[in-house]
Amino acid sequence: MSDKGSQPKGTISANRSVARAISVLRALAGSPEAATATDIARKVGLPRPTTFRLLLTLEEEGFVDRRDTHYSLGWDLARIARSADPAAGVIARTRGTAKSLAEQLGETITLSLRRGLFEFDLVLQESPRSILVTMSDMRGMRWPLHASATGKLLLAELTPEQVFRATGEDLPKLAARTITNRQALRAELDRVRGQGWAQIDDELEDGLFAMAVPLRDNVGQMFAALAMVGPQQRVESDHTKQRHLKLLLDGAGQLTQQLTSTMPAHE
Fold of 86-259: Beta-Lactamase (3.30.450)
Q: Which amino acid is present at 49?
A: P
Under 8 Å between Cβ of 79 and 61: no
In this structure, the number of other CB atoms found within 10 A of the CB of residue 53 comes to 16
Does the pTM surpass 0.85? The reply is: no
Tens digit of each residue's pLDDT (9 = 90 or more) over 238-253: 999 999 999 999 999 9
Could you give the percent of the chain with pLDDT greater than 70? Answer: 87
pLDDT at position 110: 95
pLDDT at position 131: 64
Structural class in CATH, domain 11-81: mainly alpha
Q: Where in the chain is the domain with CATH 3.30.450.40?
A: 86-259
67 three-state secondary structure = strand
Angle between helices 48-60 and 37-44 (to 10 degrees): 110
pLDDT at position 77: 87
In the chain, which ranges are E strands?
Answer: 64-67, 70-73, 108-115, 119-126, 198-201, 208-216, 222-231
pLDDT at position 132: 54
User: In this structure, what DSSP letter does residue 199 have?
Assistant: E
| Beta-ladder partners of 226 | 111, 213
Tens digit of each residue's pLDDT (9 = 90 or more) over 8-49: 444 455 588 888 999 899 888 877 789 999 999 998 999 999
Angle between helices 160-167 and 182-195 (to 10 degrees): 120
pLDDT at position 134: 57
pLDDT at position 51: 94
Q: How many helices (H) and strands (E) does the chain have?
A: 9, 7
Q: What pairing do the DSSP bridges indicate for beta strands 108-115 and 222-231?
A: antiparallel
Q: Where in the chain is the domain with CATH 1.10.10.10?
A: 11-81
pLDDT at position 240: 93
What end-to-end distance do the CA atoms of the chain give, in Å? Answer: 33
Low-confidence ranges of the chain (pLDDT < 70): 1-14, 86, 131-141, 261-267
Tens digit of each residue's pLDDT (9 = 90 or more) over 202-211: 999 999 999 9
C-alpha to C-alpha distance for 46 and 38, rounded to whole angstroms: 10
pLDDT at position 126: 93
In this structure, the number of other CB atoms found within 10 A of the CB of residue 191 comes to 14
